[in-house]
Amino acid sequence: MIKVRIPTPLRPLTKGQGEVESKAGSVLEMIEALNSAHPGIKDRLCDETGELRRFVNIYVNEEDIRFLKGKETSLKDGDEVSIVPAIAGG
């Protein structure tokens, strides 16, 4: 099982859950599965071409997927995925 940490701005879509579990084999599969369970999440994470939006990072075990294989990064049992929103302020 893979643990996926959901940041505060996305929790309204996961009924308040800060962590969900996934059995996906890759980041792309994880995003699709998340979107099936919690419709709307994919749009928040990816643009219309399917690319990860510039104001979000996904880390697999503390490594940014942009430095791994992007959405093709494979996942295995015990991995921890963190969806990280942009640092922001006013």
Partner 1 sequence: MADLVIPRHILDDLVAHARELAPYECCGLLAGTDNSVSHLYRIKNIVALEGAHNLSSFDPAKVAHLERLSPADRAEIAFVMDMQDFSAAKKDIRNKGLDLQVVYHSHPHDPARPSVTDIKIATDYEEIWPKINLPIPAYLLVSLMHAEPDVKTYWIKAGHVTKADVLVR
Q: Is 23 in the site for partner 1 (CB under 8 A)?
A: no
Q: Is 70 in the site for partner 1 (CB under 8 A)?
A: no
Q: Is 10 in the site for partner 1 (CB under 8 A)?
A: yes
Q: Report the alpha-carbon distance of residue 22 to residue 14 in Å, rounded.
A: 13
Amino acid at 27: V
Candidates 25-33, 54-62, 68-76 — which segment interacts with partner 1 by CB under 8 A? Answer: 54-62
Contacts of 41 (CB under 8 A, 6+ apart): 10, 13, 14, 31, 34, 35
Q: Is 8 in the site for partner 1 (CB under 8 A)?
A: yes
Q: Report the alpha-carbon distance of residue 90 to residue 75 in Å, rounded.
A: 36
Query: Which CB atom, from 33 or from 56, has the smaller least distance to partner 1?
Result: 56
* Minimum distance of partner 1 from residue 56's CB (angstroms): 6
